[in-house]
């Protein structure tokens, strides 16, 4: 039998080490479309959070898998609810031909995204309603002020089930925010296209042509005013939600490191650590 020399042993160790890295790396790598989305939005995808952090403390159980499936279904239904509400605004206008206005060299066709003010305002009101629902359903995560915790005592007072629930909701918020932002941007882009169309309109037969056209532009801007303000509020909420989600992930990592397993519940229902001598 040939006894391997030192160089042969080192080479074998290197190959074994490389193989081990290949086995371990996929669990922590952030790649592919899911990884790119997390970099673009500033959010951790729910699957990435579970694998990178919770997986460091325990394996997934069947119950965790069911919870993830439920979360995905909730996100999908929320997105479908918004799409259905917006589709209801299209009823009655789907069969309507493209709107046209007179121009100096013939009819000016308005962009197909605009099917009349009735449909346009209906869709704007739908987006406003969705923004209010999002703020109502997820605002409590911001109010919890997870990024503001400054001591071990404060960390250990936070209930683990509250952390888990809010982390799941933060993922749901990210999906609904993405859909809402896309729909906001479509309406704003549509209004800009219509404003460009109106610049080519010629109401020469009307004595007050300039005043009418200005009034039309002003009306579009007024319809968008509330939407623009609410859109900014949701964007601000999104930034705070990102900070809260990252703080929750960090707190979940710190709790098993610094918090006692035995705890007492105060009258307010908040867990308070109890030392062995008390």
Q: How far apart are CA 149 and CA 155, in angstroms?
A: 7
CA atoms 251, 256, 260, 262: torsion sign? positive
pLDDT of residue 29: 37
Taking CA atoms, 69 is separated from 66, 199, 214, 248, 263, in Å, by: 5, 51, 52, 21, 31
The three-class DSSP label of residue 53 is coil
pLDDT of residue 248: 96
Q: What is the pTM of this model?
A: 0.64
Beta bridge partners of 263: 273
234 CB-contact burial (10 Å; exposed 0-12 / middle 13-18 / buried 19+): buried
The three-class DSSP label of residue 146 is helix
Complete DSSP assignment for 79-120:
HHHHHHHHHHTTTTTTTSPPPEEEETTEEEEPPTT---HHHH
Taking CA atoms, 24 is separated from 179, 218, 249, in Å, by: 34, 60, 21
- Which residue, among 122, 225, 236, 228, has the nearest Cα to 184 in the 3D structure? 228
Q: And the tokens for 260?
A: 């006692």
State the maximum Cα–Cα separation within the chain, in Å, rounded to a whole number. Answer: 108
Using only the alpha carbons of the chain, give its radius of gyration. Answer: 28
In contact, 73 and 81? CB cutoff 8 Å: no
Which stretches within the chain are classed as H helix?
Answer: 6-24, 32-41, 46-52, 62-88, 117-143, 152-156, 160-198, 209-258
**Angle between helical axes of 117-143 and 160-198 (0-180°, round to 10):** 150
Give the mean pLDDT per block of 10 residues along the chain (278 residues).
47 42 34 38 48 40 42 49 89 74 91 92 94 94 95 93 95 94 92 93 91 93 88 92 96 93 45 38
Q: And the tokens for 76?
A: 């999908």
The three-class DSSP label of residue 9 is helix
Q: How far apart are CA 119 and CA 136, in angstroms?
A: 26
The three-class DSSP label of residue 11 is helix
């Amino acid at each position: 039998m040939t006894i391997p020399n030192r160089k042969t042993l080192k080479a074998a160790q290197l190959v074994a080490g490389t193989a081990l890295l290949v086995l371990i790396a996929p669990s922590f790598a952030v790649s592919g479309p899911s990884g790119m989305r997390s970099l673009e939005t500033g959010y951790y995808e729910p699957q990435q959070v579970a694998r990178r952090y919770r997986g460091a403390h325990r394996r997934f159980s069947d119950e965790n898998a069911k919870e993830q499936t439920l979360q995905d279904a909730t996100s999908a239904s929320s997105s479908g609810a918004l799409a259905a509400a917006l589709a209801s605004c299209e009823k009655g206008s789907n069969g309507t031909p493209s709107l046209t206005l007179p121009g100096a060299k013939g009819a000016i066709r308005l962009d197909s995204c605009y099917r009349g003010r009735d449909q346009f305002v209906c869709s704007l009101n739908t987006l406003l309603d969705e923004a209010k629902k999002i703020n109502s359903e997820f605002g409590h995560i911001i109010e919890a002020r997870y990024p503001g915790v400054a001591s071990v005592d404060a960390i250990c007072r936070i209930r683990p089930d509250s952390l888990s629930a809010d982390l799941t909701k933060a993922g749901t918020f990210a999906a609904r925010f993405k859909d809402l932002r896309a729909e906001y941007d479509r309406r704003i882009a549509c209004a800009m296209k219509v404003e460009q169309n109106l610049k080519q309109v010629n109401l020469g037969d009307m004595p007050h042509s300039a005043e009418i056209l200005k009034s039309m532009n002003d009306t579009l801007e007024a319809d968008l005013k509330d939407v623009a303000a609410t859109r900014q509020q949701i964007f601000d909420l999104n930034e705070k939600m990102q900070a809260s989600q990252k703080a929750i992930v960090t707190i979940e990592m710190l709790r098993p490191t610094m918090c006692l397993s035995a705890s007492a519940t105060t009258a307010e229902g908040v867990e308070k650590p109890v030392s062995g001598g008390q």
